[in-house]
A and B are shown apart, each in its own frame.
Chain A
């Protein structure tokens, strides 16, 4: 017999992340590596389990193989539960036919049955493209305290960047009276973080209406939220303070990785009370050979360094040969940088090989953009990959 869950999380992980180009040609954005030993989806999943939410539906659509494989039974996040836990929810063929997820709201609507199995009072909607640590339990307490129908987490952004976000205008008590998706002339600096808590009955009602509206693009930001606001539902903005970064672009992904470095890093992973969990292979400890030089960098298990690593984030099992230089770069797992090769201001996906004496990217100070090499790309010995290159090319 099923018991009730107070709050169920729905994690939207079907996005292609087309602005990450080469990094998402074979994998969905939430499965992209971050910070050496994590994937983007580790952050919302760890936040859930740290916040006491143990039932998470992960909605997948685009290139789900790696993501399914990575999440598996949810064991690394302690989400392998007898009741609840993490469940992968792909689009499916139903009685009335089969459909892809048409938008964020439609994806949730198609999985209303999953939500209702747990008979929750609240549903939290998350997305798999942000790096942050957040206690959803506090947000849920806020939602209950305000007696809200919908609570949207917001973060203060600089006014000049506000037109990139969904912007909320609120009263003093936090109630939202206006919502503008990517406004040209923003009236506020409270940006939506794409994290919503709904009272389930209200959510179900609006999703049903939205599903019947042929003109809707079935999106929370474009359709559901404005509709609820227009109807006078109680909607509140939950102010979040702390690190939060959308890693939807090459430059923001690079920046977020760099935010882990420095004496007082912008984003601190060292915190025993809010651990970020991840699935990883059994790798030996990292070895820094004779003559190696590793400064202002983050390295993880299985790395073997004989050369120089500076201002960089290295994933598991990265080999840096003698005389090789890695600078201002993000290098994902299982990549080999052979002797004498130089990698500057670049992002290298998993399984890349940079041949002997090859050059990838240019000095950050003068480079025209970040060089990006997709998964398993091979740079030949002495080959030169210019700054800002995106390889392989046909994407």
Chain B
């Protein structure tokens, strides 16, 4: 049994425009030193998947820069490895002429050649908005055992802890785990079972699905493939029970990042034996804490220089915190420079932001204050 991966790097871009203006969903920085795609990629690599196609749509330069040859995930291979799949825009007269794909189904159709020519038995499809450490081997085994046509990974999400503020698939299953119905909605209360958009399907089944989609002029994965297939095919839901967070907006990015400050999140995301999360190596020096530093309950990447007070924060690589500065509940991305005596609360800065001495900025947990890439305040 072999498997190959297929990652959708741009789907959900529109849900977090602040961070995807100049990058893909896949290359959103997360957790001090990672990009969202690192979780999907590492999960695949840790599950013995060594052929991974990454479907891109637009502004994917930062993603290409991050992935490089794939060597940081051990995916620089002669056979297989990482394959970037930019949109296939035909110059000839046909239905794809001069037009980018518009949804998941069209994106998959565009990757048909990749799927056709990789030799794996099974395909694992994943988006980049879900953060989890999952063993796909177990999902694939479950898929084979159940004889399902398609297995979706579902997760019961506590809406209070991980507020989801854009429509997702809320799944209904019977006692055997068969998907009986689903609705696309914003979950309001309780612990609904939602679709993580991670799917396992036999490669040949995916190819026939693609042929069917083209022949019958299907437009949408949800309406045409899933809705119509519910009765005639076995769609199964594999319930994931580990730590999970989904990024659906800037607010949920904030909440999903702050959730990393718990031991539970760190242990089940980062400290799982034989299932490390890999990322691009930057070779930053270790982080320096000055004599005046006061840092508590914070996650800090390498390459930082801290002279001030930092509480409940996520600091990315190369962040500098000046003397007397006080940071609370902040997420500061790569190379953010905070001046002396600045006072920040619930602030998210993108890369290379400069905050001058004595600036006072504050957002709120439900509405973090966001400062875009390279801005100076």
Contacts and interface: CB of A to CB of B under 8 A. Distances in A.
Interface of A: 35-37, 75-76, 260-261, 263, 269-270, 275-278, 280-301, 309, 313-314
A295 B306 CA distance: 9
Given A276-B283, A296-B290, A297-B289, A282 B296 contact: no
Contacts of A286: 287, 299-302
A287 B269 CA distance: 14
A77 B79 CA distance: 24
Contacts of A269: 285-286
Nearest to B71: A75
B363 to A, nearest CB: 22
A263 B293 CA distance: 12
A76 B293 contact: no
A282 B294 contact: no
Contacts of B287: 286, 298-300
Nearest to A279: B281
Contact of A285 (B278, B291, B299): B299
A288 B298 contact: yes
A282 B297 contact: no
Given A294-B293, A295-B289, A270 B305 contact: yes
Say what secondary structure dominates the interface of chain A: loop
11 contacts: A36-B286, A260-B288, A281-B276, A284-B31, A284-B270, A286-B287, A287-B266, A288-B295, A288-B298, A289-B296, A295-B290
B285 A270 contact: yes
Given A292-B295, A295-B293, A298-B289, A284 B302 contact: no
B71 A282 contact: no
Contact of A290 (B292, B296, B299): B296
A285 B33 contact: yes
Interface of B: 31-33, 42, 71, 261, 266, 269-271, 276-279, 281, 283, 285-303, 305
A41 B287 CA distance: 21
B298 A300 contact: no
B290 A284 contact: no
Given A285-B33, A294-B295, A299-B286, 11 more contacts: A263-B291, A269-B285, A270-B305, A281-B276, A286-B299, A292-B295, A292-B296, A294-B289, A295-B289, A296-B290, A299-B287
Contacts of A300: 286-287, 302
Contacts of A283: 276
A227 B365 CA distance: 74
B277 A261 contact: no
A284 B286 contact: no
Contacts of B32: 284-285
A278 B283 contact: yes
Nearest to A316: B286
Contacts of B278: 282
A289 B261 CA distance: 9
A46 B289 CA distance: 25
Contacts of A276: 283, 285
A290 to B, nearest CB: 5
A260 B286 CA distance: 10
B81 to A, nearest CB: 15
A6 B371 CA distance: 49
B137 to A, nearest CB: 19
Contacts of B283: 76, 275-278
B288 A291 contact: no
A294 to B, nearest CB: 5
B296 A288 contact: yes
Contacts of A296: 289-291
Nearest to B261: A287
A76 B72 CA distance: 10
B260 to A, nearest CB: 9
Contact of B276 (A282, A298, A309): A282
Nearest to B38: A282
Contact of A289 (B42, B293, B297, B302): B297
A282 B277 contact: yes
Contacts of A291: 296
Contact of B288 (A261, A285, A309): A261
Contacts of A297: 288-289
Contacts of B300: 285-288, 299
A287 B299 contact: yes
A277 B71 CA distance: 16
Contacts of B292: 295
B286 A288 contact: no
A73 to B, nearest CB: 11
B296 A299 contact: no
A147 B266 CA distance: 59
Nearest to A277: B283
A72 B290 CA distance: 35
Contacts of A299: 286-287, 289, 300
